[in-house]
Structure 1
Amino acid sequence: MRALLWLLTLFVLATLLALLAGNNQAVLTLYWSPTRAIDISLNMAILILFGLFLLGHALMRGVSGLIQLPRDARRWRIQQKERALHGHLLDAMSHYLAGRFSRARQAGQRALRQEEGLYGQQADPRDNVPAAQRLPYRMQLRALTHFIMAESSQAMQDGTQRDLHYTQALQAAEESSADIAVETREGIQLRATRWAIEDRQPAVALERLDALPQGTGRRVLALRHRLKAARQLGNTDLALETARTLARHKAFTPDAGRVLVSRLIVDQFKSAFDLDQLQRIWMRLDREERVWPEVALAAARQLVAVGGTAAQARAWLLPVWERVAAGEQSLSSSQRSALIAAIEPGLEGIDSDWLQRIETAYQRYPNRPDVQYLMGMACMKRQLWGKAQQFLTQAVQGLKDEPELHRNAWRALAELAEERNDGAAAQEAWKQAALVR
């Protein structure tokens, strides 16, 4: 359609030109001294002038092209060298991703030589590139090239070359005028932190993290590095604080975040060697963290180990017991066994409130062997031999999957048999306790 419109336009122009020029009878006379005169039609004169204009324009274009030819040749050479620079950098990245670290360093070295030959002091004088025409991101390219070489050196366990290229990469990033230069520098610093963690140098990693700007230090990647470094250093307080921050930022799944935080809390409990220290750690926990079974159980065990009272241990275990008494299925069998084992040692001095709680749980779930076991042990501590015998006999049938409680139940039955002077039953109970694996 467009071609048809152009053709119609040309026909119209040709028609108008024929109408104007066909009826033009004007004559142009050129007088030539002294007596000569040349008569030509006005149409011919116009055509001659137009032809001279075209010829002059062509001559000027030709001369301009000849003058511009060296400059175009230089621009072409520079463009080819810049393409080669990009090609070497891409080769270095490809080799690094493929795990060919020695080749990545060689390609990076070629890229650096190409950049130095183009913009450096050893550049060809014929290719003297004005500052305004240089690549605006050439220093960023140089920084990334040094970074790839540093990463390859780290993979090859060449610490000397790694540190050299790391320093040069930071210098190039500092000199870069690109808008992304700050991100480039901070990214290189974060990767250097990971190198320190891989080399088991957590103090160096934390020092580099502290040197980062405040906003960069709060990024998820930086927090992950801080967590790993703190765990390597054994700084449980810092690791726990960082893990909580990561969990709030949803860096983990909810289950994974809870497992990590609970493990760190348990490690804190294990590091407490006196009652005051343990209580301070407990008071610093969030309310939600105190009701986690693994946390409460670890706290209760450590409390008893450092000389705390059984009543205080039961107070810490109360939220977990309420979940068990309510029939919540989120607790594993090992956690329920650990809870029963933590409550059992203080049964002789247990108060009426806890007895009421145990009885209420038994009335609600009379067929649960762990509750039967706890009822039997409570009755045994209060010298209610008959009830203790009844509850424990029921419990041993269902505790086969919980070896510790199963063994303790048989031992209690053996002691009850000895109490009533039934040697055969006592011997059989001790035998069954010894067979529990």
Structure 2
Amino acid sequence: MRLLLWLVALMAAAIGVAVTARFNPGNVVFFYPPHRIDMSLNLFVVLTAALFIIMYGMLRALRATVAMPAKVAAYRQRKRERDGNKGLRDALKALFEGRFGHAEKAAMRAAELPENAGLAALIGARAAHRMRQSSRRDNWLAGVVNDNSLKTARLMTMTELLVDDHQPEAALDAVAELNASGQRHIHALQWSMKAHQQAKNWPEVLRLVRSLDKHKALHPALSSRLRELAYEALLSDSSHDAESIMRVWSTVPTADRVKPYIAARAATALNARGLHDEARATAEEALRVEWDDRVVRAYRDAAGGAGSPSLLAQIEHCEAWIKQRPTDAELALTLGSLCLKQKLWGKAQRYLEQALSDASEPRMVREAHLKLAQMHEALGQHEEANAHFRQCALASIL
């Protein structure tokens, strides 16, 4: 439709020009002595228009020629940008697909564009790391050192890759640099925690776990397990004496002190250093909150000497507990062992035999037979003692 309108307008203009030219009697005369040129006004107008068109075309051609180098440079720049951006997209796609060799090659193409060089280097570093090419990974990361706009991304990438490569010291250096720049986001705390865990810096692991728990950034099961590992390492350190182990235990929050696994490890560590009173108090506090066989075993190992008030108090506590848990084999074994130590032979035999009948683990069967053998031996009943010793040996084999 538009073309038709243009044709109509062009035809109308041509008709108008033809009619006007037909009734135009004007002449144009050029004098240049001794020459004279006469022509009609219509021809002069046509020649003038033709000359204008020719001059306009020549000027446009000259302008295009002068601008040609800039246009070629702009075209090449656009081509480089297209190729660089395509290389960056291909590198990301290959990285997510797990084709790390393709990802690194595409990152090399993307790095040819200065604007993409930093991001391409981070992609290349991740790809090289996945292929276990540490030297190439470090070369990629070294290329981003001077790019301040990617400082946080570089440090986060370094931390993650170094932790994955089990280089906690280098990872912690990156974390320290990241913290110095004021960046303390959740992901950085998570990788920092992993680096400290590999470095066995357990106090710092506990601090970071508590910080991440405040932000609900850790699954409760993972948080609990990390606390257990940290406390186990701290409490199992053989370099601690009685004073230092108490100092470590005093730093544990109340909410953690009553958790069965932690309480059992603490009671075991306290028993190993002769702090039986503290071990009993720790176990009793934890058992009031949650019953656990591991804590009961540690409570049994914390028994006081024969005739001591602490041993009698332990027996009273266990007798009160066993009324609530009449089929608990671990508790019956503990009460029987305590009565045996106090030389309450009848009670000891009754509870040890109850533990033997209710035991579900070979360990408990073996220990119950051993305690019964010791009891019969103390009473001079050597035949019964030998029978239980044999049963203990058979349980050890099984």
TM-score by length of 1: 0.70
* Correspondent of 1:292 among 259, 268, 285: 259
Q: Which residue of 2 aligns with 1:341?
A: 297
Q: Which residue of 1 aligns with 2:338?
A: 378
Listed as ranges, the gaps of 5+ residues in structure 1 are: 14-26, 41-49, 116-137, 175-180, 326-330
Question: For 1:92 and 1:371, how far apart are their aligned partners in 2?
Answer: 62
Structure 1 residue 409, shift from structure 2 partner = 1.8
Structure 1 residue 288, shift from structure 2 partner = 0.9
Higher mean Cα deviation, 255-264 or 79-88?
79-88
* Correspondent of 1:430 among 354, 364, 389: 389
After superposition, residues 29-428 of structure 1 pair within 5 angstroms as 71-94=70-93, 96=95, 97-100=98-101, 104-105=104-105, 108=108, 110-112=109-111, 115=112, 139-154=114-129, 155-159=131-135, 161-171=136-146, 173-174=147-148, 181=149, 184-214=150-180, 217-271=183-237, 272-308=239-275, 310-324=276-290, 331=292, 336=293, 338-345=294-301, 346-347=303-304, 348=306, 349=308, 350=310, 353-401=313-361, 403-428=362-387
Question: For 1:391 and 1:259, how far apart are their aligned partners in 2?
Answer: 35
Question: For 2:206 and 2:290, how far apart are their aligned partners in 1?
Answer: 27
Structure 1 residue 397, shift from structure 2 partner = 0.5
Q: Conserved in 1, the CA contact under 8 Å of 2:110 and 2:116?
A: no
Q: Describe the shift of the 1:187–1:300 C-alpha distance in structure 2 as closer, same or farther (beyond 3 A).
A: same
Question: For 2:247 and 2:240, how far apart are their aligned partners in 1?
Answer: 12
Deviations 1:44-72 (A, max 9, x none): xxxxxx9x999999998788667655544
Q: Conserved in 1, the CA contact under 8 Å of 2:107 and 2:121?
A: no
Listed as ranges, the gaps of 5+ residues in structure 2 are: 10-22, 30-37, 43-48
Q: Conserved in 2, the CA contact under 8 Å of 1:209 and 1:226?
A: yes
Structure 1 residue 153, shift from structure 2 partner = 4.4
Q: Describe the shift of the 1:111–1:307 C-alpha distance in structure 2 as closer, same or farther (beyond 3 A).
A: same
Q: Describe the shift of the 1:164–1:39 C-alpha distance in structure 2 as closer, same or farther (beyond 3 A).
A: closer
Q: Conserved in 1, the CA contact under 8 Å of 2:90 and 2:106?
A: no
Aligned residues: 382
Deviations 1:374-433 (A, max 9, x none): 3323333333222222222222101132x3332222222223333444333222222222
Q: Which amino acid aligns with 1:87?
A: K
After superposition, residues 4-19 of structure 1 pair within 5 angstroms as none
SS in 1 for 2:133: coil
Question: For 1:374 and 1:407, how far apart are their aligned partners in 2?
Answer: 14
Question: For 1:166 and 1:201, how far apart are their aligned partners in 2?
Answer: 16
Q: Describe the shift of the 1:355–1:301 C-alpha distance in structure 2 as closer, same or farther (beyond 3 A).
A: same
Question: For 1:419 and 1:288, how far apart are their aligned partners in 2?
Answer: 43
Structure 1 residue 260, shift from structure 2 partner = 1.1
Q: Conserved in 2, the CA contact under 8 Å of 1:341 and 1:405?
A: no
Q: Which amino acid aligns with 2:267?
A: A
Question: For 1:111 and 1:381, how far apart are their aligned partners in 2?
Answer: 77
Q: Which amino acid aligns with 1:301?
A: T
Q: Which residue of 2 aligns with 1:123?
A: none
Q: Which residue of 2 aligns with 1:133?
A: none
Q: Which amino acid aligns with 2:142?
A: T
Deviations 1:268-326 (A, max 9, x none): 11125211111111111111110111111111111111232x2210111122222456x
TM-score by length of 2: 0.76
Question: For 1:365 and 1:93, how far apart are their aligned partners in 2?
Answer: 60
Deviations 1:125-180 (A, max 9, x none): xxxxxxxxxxxxx5441112333344444434352x44343222222x23xxxxxx
Q: Conserved in 1, the CA contact under 8 Å of 2:315 and 2:339?
A: no
Identity %: 23
Q: Describe the shift of the 1:399–1:215 C-alpha distance in structure 2 as closer, same or farther (beyond 3 A).
A: farther
SS in 1 for 2:333: helix
Question: For 1:392 and 1:157, how far apart are their aligned partners in 2?
Answer: 61
Q: Describe the shift of the 1:39–1:75 C-alpha distance in structure 2 as closer, same or farther (beyond 3 A).
A: closer
Q: Which amino acid aligns with 2:121?
A: H
SS in 1 for 2:262: helix
Q: Conserved in 2, the CA contact under 8 Å of 1:407 and 1:434?
A: yes
SS in 1 for 2:317: helix
Question: For 2:126 and 2:100, how far apart are their aligned partners in 1?
Answer: 11
